[in-house]
């Protein structure tokens, strides 16, 4: 039709789908200027192009379709300025959130890379800095089901309170369990985080002397061997274990479905003895 654009032509001009324009019509956001009564074809005028541009730009800025629809009912320079300034706050918050996520992803990549590059059959003694964990207790019988439930509580709480967690979970196994040979009976599940007063179940892992060892492969089938290696090393190096163990999932189901590729770092706080 003369001086009118079909829905296909308009979709091509704007680099969007016809389905998008149909949806905008259905929600009364952007309606065609004319609909052919015989075949239902939608047509648009050239004056509507700028209006559609406005909708698409606002959507790209981050406004929801509902916000756009309410705003453009009667928008002026004054209320548009206020509208955009409010969105600047939202954008800045998202930038901060994305920056945090980026650092967490980088940390995850570096931890996996470091574990493979420094893989050794000998445990490592090192001084660590302060760190923090968000934790939940694991209920008896301390099996895989209860570990998973406690871990899910950590993730749910971190999401509910928007806590700055790393992409790394773990568990803590009481030294008493380890001494009894119960290497998989963890009492705490945790996520690495930063110090915060938003919740009370934050534990500080203080700076101090530690010994650690990376376990490669399926957790339940062979973690006992890695614990025995670590305990023997401590005895040989005259190191007294003074804490429960902390197991950090370096490579797990988040980054691999092959359990043989899993990496678990086991860590104890220790002190040197005069043996």
Determine the pLDDT at residue 175.
Answer: 98
Determine the pLDDT at residue 111.
Answer: 86
Q: Is the pLDDT of residue 260 over 80?
A: yes
- pLDDT tens digit string along 171-216? 999 999 999 999 999 999 999 999 999 999 999 999 999 999 999 9
Q: Quick one: pLDDT band at residue 95, thresholds 50, 70, 90?
A: very high
Q: Is the pLDDT of residue 275 over 70?
A: no
CB 268 within 8 A of CB 210: yes
Q: What is the pTM of this model?
A: 0.74
Q: Cα angle vertex 206, ends 241, 174, to 5°?
A: 40
Q: Is the pLDDT of residue 137 over 90?
A: yes
Q: Is the pLDDT of residue 43 over 70?
A: yes
Report percent pLDDT > 70 for the chain.
Answer: 99
**Residue 165 or 184, more confident:** 184
DSSP string covering 226-248: HHHHHHHHHHHTTEEE-S-EEEE
Q: Is the pLDDT of residue 1 over 90?
A: no
Determine the pLDDT at residue 107.
Answer: 85
Which H or E element spans position 7?
helix 7-14
Q: How far is CA 225 from CA 91, 171, 184, 235, 252, in A?
A: 50, 18, 12, 15, 19
Calpha distance 274→240 (Å, rounded): 10
C-alpha closest to that of 144 among 186, 197, 178? 186
């Amino acid at each position: 039709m003369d001086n009118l654009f079909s829905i296909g032509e308009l979709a091509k001009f704007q680099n969007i789908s016809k389905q998008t324009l149909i949806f905008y019509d259905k929600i009364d956001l952007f309606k065609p200027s004319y609909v052919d009564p015989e075949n239902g074809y939608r047509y648009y005028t050239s004056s509507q192009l700028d209006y559609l541009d406005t909708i698409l730009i606002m959507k790209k800025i981050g406004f929801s379709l509902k916000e756009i629809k309410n705003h453009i009912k009667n928008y002026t320079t004054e209320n548009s300025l206020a509208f955009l300034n409010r969105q600047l706050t939202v954008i800045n918050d998202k930038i901060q959130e994305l920056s945090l996520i980026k650092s967490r992803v980088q940390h995850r990549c570096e931890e996996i890379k470091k574990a493979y590059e420094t893989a050794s059959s000998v445990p490592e003694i090192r001084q660590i800095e302060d760190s923090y964990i968000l934790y939940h207790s694991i209920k008896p019988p301390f099996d895989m089901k209860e570990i998973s439930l406690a871990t899910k509580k950590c993730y749910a709480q971190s999401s509910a309170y928007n806590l700055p967690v790393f992409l790394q979970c773990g568990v803590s196994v009481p030294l008493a369990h380890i001494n009894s040979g119960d290497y998989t009976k963890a009492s705490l599940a945790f996520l690495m985080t930063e110090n915060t007063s938003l919740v009370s179940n934050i534990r500080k892992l203080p700076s101090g002397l530690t010994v650690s060892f990376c376990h490669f492969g399926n957790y339940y089938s062979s973690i006992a061997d890695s614990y025995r290696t670590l305990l023997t090393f401590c005895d040989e190096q005259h190191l007294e274990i003074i804490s429960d163990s902390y197991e950090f999932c370096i490579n797990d189901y988040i980054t691999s479905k092959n359990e043989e590729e899993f990496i678990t770092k086991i860590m104890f706080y220790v002190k040197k003895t005069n043996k």
